[in-house]
């Protein structure tokens, strides 16, 4: 099961984007695949066992540390 650390964003980068609010203690999304995504700052699991397309382009606000995270695959320039 692949596990990824997400990329941190700042508020300006997510202006106009829908942000998925995570609540500490339970994943923002769970199930449907085998990829797990952790907060890039505090390593809290934000998306657990999701399909890749469920993480694609998603911005998640960590309920533990308040960081804005996005999935890492599209940020290798
Ligand atoms: Zn966090």
Tens-place pLDDT, residues 33-73: 999 999 999 999 999 999 999 999 999 999 999 999 999 87
Element (H, E) at 53: helix 52-55
> Taking the domains of the chain in order of start, what are their residue ranges?
3-74
pLDDT for position 32: 97
Q: What is the pTM of this model?
A: 0.90
Distance 5 CA to ligand 1 centre (A): 10
20 backbone dihedrals φ, ψ, rounded to 5°: -85, 125
Distance 67 CA to ligand 1 centre (A): 5
Distance 77 CA to ligand 1 centre (A): 24
Name the band, by pLDDT with cuts 50, 70 and 90, for residue 74: low
pLDDT for position 73: 74
Separation of alpha carbons 58 and 4, rounded Å: 14
Distance 55 CA to ligand 1 centre (A): 16
Distance 46 CA to ligand 1 centre (A): 8
């Amino acid at each position: 099961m692949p596990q990824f650390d997400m990329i941190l964003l700042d508020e300006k980068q997510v202006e106009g984007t829908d942000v998925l609010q995570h609540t500490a203690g339970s994943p923002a999304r769970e199930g449907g695949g085998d990829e797990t995504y952790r907060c890039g700052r505090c390593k809290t699991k934000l998306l657990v066992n999701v399909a890749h397309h469920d993480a694609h382009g998603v911005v998640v606000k960590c309920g533990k540390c308040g960081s804005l995270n996005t999935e890492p695959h599209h940020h290798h320039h």
